[in-house]
Amino acid sequence: MTPGEFEFLKTFLKTRSGLVLSSDKQYLVESRLLPIARSSKLETLSAVIQTLQRGSNRTLETDVIEAMTTNESFFFRDKTPFDHFKETMLPALKEARASRRQLKIWCAAASTGQEPYSLGICLKEEASKLPGWRTRILGTDLSLEVLEKAKAGLYSQFEVQRGLPIQMLLKYFDQKGDMWQITAEMRSMIEWKKLNLLESFTHLGEFDIVFCRNVLIYFDQTTKSEILGRLAKTLPDDGFLVLGAAETVVGLTDAFKPVPGKRGLFQKKQAVQAGTGSAAGPRLAVGGGVGFRR
Amino acid sequence: MKQCLVVDDSSVIRKVARRILEDMNFEITEAEDGQQALDACRSTMPDAILLDWNMPVMDGLEFLTSLRAEDGGESPVVVFCTTENDVAHIARAIRAGANEYIMKPFDREIVEAKFQEVGLI
Ligand SMILES: C[S@@+](CC[C@H](N)C(=O)[O-])C[C@H]1O[C@@H](n2cnc3c(N)ncnc32)[C@H](O)[C@@H]1O
Q: Give the confidence band of A1 by pLDDT, cuts at 50, 70, 90.
A: confident
Q: Is the pLDDT of residue A273 over 50?
A: no
Asked if residue A224 has its Cβ within 6 Å of ligand 1, the reply is no
Q: Give the confidence band of A270 by pLDDT, cuts at 50, 70, 90.
A: low
Q: Give the confidence band of A288 by pLDDT, cuts at 50, 70, 90.
A: very low
Q: What is the dihedral of CA A249, A250, A253, A259, to 10 degrees?
A: 60
CATH number of the structural domain spanning residue A92: 3.40.50.150
B94 touches chain A (CB under 8 A): yes
Question: Of the given ranges (A22-26, A28-32, A55-59, A143-147), which has the lowest mean pLDDT?
Answer: A22-26
Q: Are residues A95 and A46 in the same domain?
A: no
Q: Which letter does DSSP use for residue A88 in this model?
A: I
Asked if residue A112 has its Cβ within 6 Å of ligand 1, the reply is no
Domain count, chain A: 2
Q: Are residues A154 and A35 in the same domain?
A: no
Residue numbers of the domain that contains A58: 3-69
Contact present, B46 and B28 (Cβ < 8 Å): no
CB-CB under 8 Å, A169 with B110: no
Per residue in A220-236, pLDDT (tens digit) is 999 999 999 999 999 99
Asked if residue A197 has its Cβ within 6 Å of ligand 1, the reply is yes
Percent of chain A residues topping a pLDDT of 70: 91
The three-state secondary structure class of A3 is helix
Q: Is the pLDDT of residue A271 over 60?
A: no
Across residues A233-261, what is the average pLDDT?
A: 96
Q: Are residues A41 and A99 in the same domain?
A: no
Contact present, A205 and A153 (Cβ < 8 Å): no
CB-CB under 8 Å, A166 with B110: no
Give ipTM to 2 decimals: 0.94
B109 touches chain A (CB under 8 A): yes
In chain B, the domains with their CATH numbers are 2-117 (3.40.50.2300)
Q: Are residues A120 and A185 in the same domain?
A: yes
Per residue in A73-107, pLDDT (tens digit) is 999 999 999 999 999 999 999 999 999 999 999 99
A267 DSSP β-pair partners = A257
B96 touches chain A (CB under 8 A): no
Q: Are residues A134 and A238 in the same domain?
A: yes
> What's the confidence (pLDDT) of residue B11?
98
Across residues A197-203, what is the average pLDDT?
A: 98
pTM of the full structure: 0.92
CATH number of the structural domain spanning residue A50: 1.10.155
Q: Give the confidence band of A129 by pLDDT, cuts at 50, 70, 90.
A: very high
Q: Are residues A170 and A281 in the same domain?
A: yes
Best residue in B81, B83, B103, B107 for a mutation probing chain A (most A CBs within 10 Å): B103
CB-CB under 8 Å, A170 with B91: yes
Asked if residue A225 has its Cβ within 6 Å of ligand 1, the reply is no
Across residues A189-195, what is the average pLDDT?
A: 98
B90 touches chain A (CB under 8 A): yes
Mean pLDDT, chain A, integer: 92
Q: Are residues A64 and A201 in the same domain?
A: no
Q: Are residues A20 and A39 in the same domain?
A: yes
Percent of chain A residues topping a pLDDT of 90: 88
Q: Which atom of ligand 1 is nearest to the CA of A66?
A: 25
Q: Which letter does DSSP use for residue B104 in this model?
A: S
Tell me, yes or no, whether A55 lies in a domain: yes
Report the nearest-CA residue for atom 9 of ligand 1: A73
Tell me, yes or no, whether A74 lies in a domain: no
> What's the confidence (pLDDT) of residue A280?
40
Per residue in A33-49, pLDDT (tens digit) is 999 999 999 999 999 99
- Profile chain B (121 residues) by mean pLDDT over runs of 10 residues: 97 98 98 98 97 98 98 97 97 98 97 95 91
Across residues A133-156, what is the average pLDDT?
A: 97
Q: Are residues A194 and A231 in the same domain?
A: yes
**Cα A6 from Cα A227, distance rounded (Å):** 26
Vertex B48 angle, CA B44 and B52, to 5°: 105
